[in-house]
Amino acid sequence: MHFKDKTELRRHMRSQVAQLSPAARTAASEVISGKVSSLPYWNEARTVAAFAALPSEPNLQPLDWACTRTVLLPRIENEQLAFYSVQNVGQLQQGTLDIMEPNPAQCVRTDLATADIIFVPGIAFTKSGARLGRGRGFYDRALSTSVALATSLRIGICFHCQLIPSLPVASHDKPVHYVITEKD
């Protein structure tokens, strides 16, 4: 699989995910979520950063963890990701890019560096941890400006069809330590 550029690869990967039925995405999401509890360091993790899934992304149901961990979810502020501690779905609101985001009036802003584990979404990943995002650089900036890059376990989350042998990587692209899909 070879693509001229990241834009072409994103288009291809979106079409791959679009071929999955909603039922298949839900089933895969449940398998991926189930794998979280067997992660290294999961039992020791007290703070985890995750994301509110788009329909085309695996849904980890991260707020289910809020009874035993601090859960951080991102909000787009001034073209940057700001992370907030969220305890329940009532603290979310429709945000930028139609993504559910923490309501800053109800949640506490928290430094991403406090996260023991950071779950990172992406359009595509390689097994070695290279990541292709949606193209606006939000996660690359968040990870590069935080000491979380050095102290947190970063885990890519995607459907198996989004795991590819290689992808174009630039110096600003931040990798993950490993990737979880429904089949690995």
Residue 1 pLDDT: 57
Residue 81, Ramachandran bin (φ over 0: left; ψ between -120 and 50: alpha; else beta): beta
Residue 6 pLDDT: 86
25, 159 Cβ separation under 8 angstroms: yes
Instruction: Tell me the Cα Rg of the chain.
Output: 15
Q: Tell me the average pLDDT across 37-64.
A: 92
d(CA 121, CA 179): 10
Place of tokens 């996260």: 115
What the block records as the tokens of 130 is 């290279």
Mean pLDDT of the chain: 90
1-19 pLDDT, tens digit each: 566 678 888 999 999 999 9
CATH number of 6-180: 3.40.50.10420
Burial grade of 69 (CB within 10 A; 0-12, 13-18, 19 or more): middle
125-184 pLDDT, tens digit each: 999 999 998 878 888 888 886 555 667 899 999 999 999 998 888 777 888 999 999 996
Residue 82 pLDDT: 96
